[in-house]
């Protein structure tokens, strides 16, 4: 089989790495890919990002299946386009992708189908939003309605913080239109959990849980990032939490997908908050999370290609996804200065012994040399039978990677 994988991040390197392990997969074209996919087994990068040109490439190169990594092409209708051209594409249609593409749409969907979530209000007028803030109980959460690369959520401890967030999102337009509509949401206190799942429109199978570390500095301090590391499975996701999630969130979400008529053969990611009052849904993503994917796929025993094929054929009821008996820690190495401005173009060295434990993201291959090209440069994996073993291996492996100004959190997998 020849596959096309759309995307360029660490998530896509991990997906390519896992798909390449399948004996059924002969070739993976990655569009546009990165330095990691350029070097990955069975992979070849192609410099195409336009949806029409991707469809043309798939037709001309006998691509059996296209797998879409990031949210942007999904919200722009890549699956609809490919399906219209008679091409197989793994990812929801544009209507289903609104579950991530519009925070207000997803909140309305949750309310309509009885998915437990925080109370909220939606605003398109900044004056009305600012007026509403005077009577709020703090902290509150303000979210850009549209896609903001994982950075459109602000936890506001005070009215001053909230007014600044409205100014930034709605008036200053910091996210190029994504914040012209905002959701102001009740703050939920608890522990976050990420559950990636696969859906064939008839059934959802949850993957192992994960715990993301969003802030840049140790102890959960500093500004939010795209994610600085992940622990999987999440120790806070107990069997009781999973039952609550499956009965009150996952089942109602599947009912909504079916009743709305979404063509949803793809990934649905549940961002959860585990509180004293039960499990609440914070948000949907309609693709694998980054950096959760790097940990979750490293722990997957099953053939990812076969799992995706089962979803495409509406056969998820016939399979069981198997997992390694391990704890997996993923430590992100970032460029100095991230998530603000940072320099690029520094050579990256990775010890050959840990090749299968490193997933590249903000890195490019230039004349045979890997160089930094983004904020989150790569993820380093460590595994073990216990959390401590996994942490020790992860940070031992971090020492075997080097580039100028490399920065990482030292507390991935440590919780209060």
Predicted local confidence at residue 185, as pLDDT: 92
Predicted local confidence at residue 376, as pLDDT: 97
Predicted local confidence at residue 355, as pLDDT: 92
- Tokens representing residue 294 in the block: 């790097």
Q: Describe the chain by its helix, strand, coil percentages, rounded to 5.
A: 35, 30, 35
Residue given tokens 């790495």 in the structure block: 17
Helix (H) or strand (E) holding 54: helix 51-60
154-192 tens-digit pLDDT: 889 999 999 999 999 998 888 888 888 988 999 999 999
Predicted local confidence at residue 86, as pLDDT: 97
Q: Which residues pair with 186 in a beta bridge?
A: 140
Higher-confidence residue: 358 or 126?
358
Predicted local confidence at residue 145, as pLDDT: 87
Q: What is the DSSP letter of 203?
A: -
Give the rounded percent of residues in the chain with a pLDDT score beyond 70: 100
Q: Return all residues near 310 (Cβ < 8 A) that are at least 6 apart.
A: 200, 316, 318, 319
**Least confident window among 160-164, 205-209, 231-235, 318-322:** 160-164
52-78 tens-digit pLDDT: 999 999 999 999 999 999 999 999 999
Alpha-helical regions (H) of 139-275: 159-166, 239-245, 251-260
Predicted local confidence at residue 416, as pLDDT: 61
415: confidence class by pLDDT, cuts 50, 70, 90: confident
Exposure letters 174-189 (e unless 16+ CB within 10 A, then b): bbeebbbbbbbbeebe
Task: Please tell me whether residue 139 adopts helix, strand or coil conformation.
Answer: coil
Predicted local confidence at residue 178, as pLDDT: 81
Predicted local confidence at residue 177, as pLDDT: 83
* Residue 46 to residue 4: CA distance in whole angstroms: 10
Task: Note the pTM of the prediction, 2 decimals.
Answer: 0.93
Q: Closest by alpha carbon to 320, among 408, 221, 222, 198?
A: 198
Q: Could you give the domains of the chain?
A: 2-91 (3.40.50.20), 125-180 (3.30.1490.20), 190-313 (3.30.470.20), 327-408 (3.90.600.10)
Q: Which phi and psi angles does 96 have, rounded to 5°? A: -65, -35
């Amino acid at each position: 089989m020849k596959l096309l994988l759309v995307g360029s991040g660490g998530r896509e390197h991990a997906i390519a790495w896992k798909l390449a392990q399948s004996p059924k997969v002969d070739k993976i074209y990655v569009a546009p890919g990165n330095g990691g996919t350029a070097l990955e087994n069975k992979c070849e990068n192609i410099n195409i990002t336009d949806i029409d040109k991707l469809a043309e490439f798939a037709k001309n190169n006998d691509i059996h299946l296209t797998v879409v990594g990031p949210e942007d092409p999904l919200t722009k209708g890549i699956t609809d386009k490919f399906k219209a051209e008679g091409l197989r594409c793994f990812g929801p249609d544009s209507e289903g992708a609104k579950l991530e593409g519009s925070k207000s749409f997803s909140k309305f969907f949750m309310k309509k189908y009885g998915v437990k979530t925080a109370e909220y209000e939606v605003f398109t007028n900044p004056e009305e939003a600012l007026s509403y803030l005077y009577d709020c109980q703090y902290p509150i959460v303000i979210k850009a309605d549209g896609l903001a690369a994982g950075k459109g959520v602000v936890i506001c401890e005070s009215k001053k913080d909230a007014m600044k967030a409205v100014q930034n999102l709605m008036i200053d337009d910091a996210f190029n239109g994504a914040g012209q509509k905002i959701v102001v949401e009740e703050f939920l206190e608890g522990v976050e959990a990420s559950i990636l799942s696969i859906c064939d429109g008839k059934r959802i199978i949850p993957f192992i849980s994960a715990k993301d570390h969003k802030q840049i500095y140790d102890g959960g301090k500093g500004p939010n990032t795209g994610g600085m590391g992940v622990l999987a499975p999440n120790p806070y996701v107990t069997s009781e939490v999973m039952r609550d999630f499956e009965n009150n969130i996952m089942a109602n979400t599947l009912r909504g997908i079916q009743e709305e008529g979404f063509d949803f053969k793809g990934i649905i990611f549940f961002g959860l908050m585990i509180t004293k009052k039960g499990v609440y849904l914070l948000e949907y993503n309609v693709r694998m999370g980054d950096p959760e994917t790097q940990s979750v796929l490293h722990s997957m025993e099953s053939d990812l290609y076969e799992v995706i094929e089962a979803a495409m054929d509406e056969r998820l009821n016939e399979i069981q996804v198997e997992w390694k008996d391990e704890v997996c820690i993923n430590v992100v190495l970032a460029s100095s200065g991230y998530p603000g401005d940072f320099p690029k173009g520094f050579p990256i060295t990775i010890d050959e012994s840990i090749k299968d434990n490193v997933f590249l993201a903000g890195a490019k291959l230039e004349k045979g040399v890997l160089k930094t090209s983004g904020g989150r440069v790569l993820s380093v994996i460590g595994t073990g039978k216990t959390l401590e073993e996994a942490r020790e291996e992860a940070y031992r492996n971090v020492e075997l990677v080097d580039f100028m100004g490399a920065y990482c959190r030292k507390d991935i997998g440590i919780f209060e």
